[in-house]
């Protein structure tokens, strides 16, 4: 990992590439195109780009209508508005009739930064997971975002892409991307960590520190939250017996609960810990300060993982 690049920037680039490959791809935005980076697509394909204005519910319903005409709409705004304000339209207008709409929602989690708790979506994975038939994807870096965009475009039915604002490391090795199939980035027998989004790079750095101390952990990029890769969870829970999840989201209803449900259903005898936002709203601050405040800095994640190892 070397280059830093925002996942939302990669999203805009991926949409523009996809637009060249498939003339049925259209993009919707709610007056935030230069923040969500859908403006990249709009500049290239203005006839297939629609700004719905600050009317997120209308944007989602417009996308639903376009999908019935054979188009593949990518519908974008900040996660708090797309998953929150327009929730009823996502549920009843898109998912209930199983329309082929892709929700690419940016500025998720606390690393949105200074806009504060009102704008920091820490519940969006929980909201999207609970909707029947909704696929939920959280790319870990800019490179994976390109592959994720193409993958959700090729699948049929509604999908939610959770996209970060903060520039984050780009992995040098390109990983395969299959919806519902996790990627194992590092093998180790002492503990397994399932992570998603920008926390994946944080966990890998923690793994390096632990390796230097003689502890070897498995790191899994769980890029698809729904459908969750049950086989991967059970395989590594059996191998390691200590399981940790790390996410920039509430520990209620997100990746941690998705993994925990699998462990409980299959009566896995493991030590289990969820690392994430602990039932709190976000607040205004620099992204790095907020990660520290909510226990998600690299050093804090390292010590929490080490605590599980020593328990």
- pLDDT score, position 106: 97
pLDDT of 2 above 80: no
92 contacts: CB under 8 Å, gap ≥ 6: none
Instruction: For residue 28, list its beta bridge partners.
Output: 50, 75
Tell me if 4-169 shares its fold with 183-310: yes
- What pLDDT band is residue 1 in, cutting at 50, 70 and 90? low
Per CATH, which fold does 4-169 belong to? Rossmann fold (3.40.50)
In 3D space, the residue among 196, 251, 182 whose CA is nearest the CA of residue 204 turns out to be 196
- What pLDDT band is residue 69 in, cutting at 50, 70 and 90? very high
Element (H, E) at 211: helix 199-212
- pLDDT score, position 198: 97
Can 21 be counted among the known catalytic residues? Answer: no
12-32: per-residue pLDDT in tens?
A: 999 999 999 999 999 999 999
CA distances from 27 to 15, 63, 72, 139, 230 (A): 8, 9, 8, 19, 33
Q: What are the domain boundaries of the chain?
A: 4-169, 183-310
- Give a three-class secondary structure readout of 162-195: ECCCCEEECCCCCCCCECCECEEEECCCCEEEEE
Please report, rounded to a whole number, the percentage of residues in the chain having pLDDT higher than 70. Answer: 99
- What pLDDT band is residue 67 in, cutting at 50, 70 and 90? very high
Whole-angstrom Cα distance, residue 59 to residue 79?
A: 14
Phi, psi torsion values for 11, nearest 5 degrees: -60, -45
In 3D space, the residue among 203, 201, 255, 204 whose CA is nearest the CA of residue 229 turns out to be 255
- pLDDT score, position 3: 87
Q: What is the CATH number of domain 183-310?
A: 3.40.50.920
Mean pLDDT, all residues of the chain: 97
Catalytic residue among 13, 20, 47, 56: 56
pLDDT of 172 above 80: no
The residue-averaged pLDDT of 225-237 equals 98
pTM for the predicted model, two decimal places: 0.96
The residue-averaged pLDDT of 167-194 equals 93
- pLDDT score, position 175: 83
Hey, what are 74's tokens? 């990518």
CA angle 68, 180, 242 (to 5 degrees): 150
pLDDT of 85 above 70: yes
- What pLDDT band is residue 267 in, cutting at 50, 70 and 90? very high
């Amino acid at each position: 990992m070397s280059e830093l690049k925002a996942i939302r920037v990669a999203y805009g680039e991926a949409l523009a590439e996809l637009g060249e490959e498939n003339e049925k791809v259209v993009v919707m935005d709610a007056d935030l195109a230069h923040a969500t980076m859908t403006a990249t697509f709009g500049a290239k394909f203005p006839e297939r780009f629609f700004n719905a204005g600050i009317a997120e519910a209308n944007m989602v319903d417009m996308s639903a209508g376009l999908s019935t005409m054979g188009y593949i709409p990518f519908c974008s705004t900040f996660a708090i508005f797309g998953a929150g304000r327009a929730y009823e339209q996502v549920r009843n207008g898109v998912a209930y009739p199983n329309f082929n709409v892709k929700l690419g929602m940016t500025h998720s989690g606390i690393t949105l930064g200074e806009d504060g708790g009102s704008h920091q979506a820490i519940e969006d994975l929980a909201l999207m997971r609970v909707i029947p038939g909704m696929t939920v994807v959280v790319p870990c870096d800019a490179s994976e975002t390109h592959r994720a965009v193409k993958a959700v475009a090729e699948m049929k039915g509604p999908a939610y892409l959770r996209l970060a604002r903060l520039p984050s490391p780009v992995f040098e090795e390109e990983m395969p991307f299959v919806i519902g199939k996790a990627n194992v980035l590092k093998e180790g027998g002492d503990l397994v960590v399932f992570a998603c989004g920008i926390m994946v790079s944080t966990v890998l750095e923690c793994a390096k520190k632990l390796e230097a101390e003689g502890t070897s952990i498995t790191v899994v990029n769980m890029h698809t939250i729904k459908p969750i890769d049950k086989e991967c969870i059970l395989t590594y829970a059996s191998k390691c017996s200590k399981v940790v999840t790390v996410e920039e989201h509430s520990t209620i209803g997100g990746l941690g609960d998705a993994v925990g449900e699998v462990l409980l259903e299959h009566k896995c005898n493991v030590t289990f810990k969820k690392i994430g936002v602990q039932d709190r709203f976000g607040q205004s601050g620099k992204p790095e300060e907020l990660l520290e405040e909510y226990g998600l800095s690299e050093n804090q994640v390292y010590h929490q993982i080490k605590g599980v190892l020593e328990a």
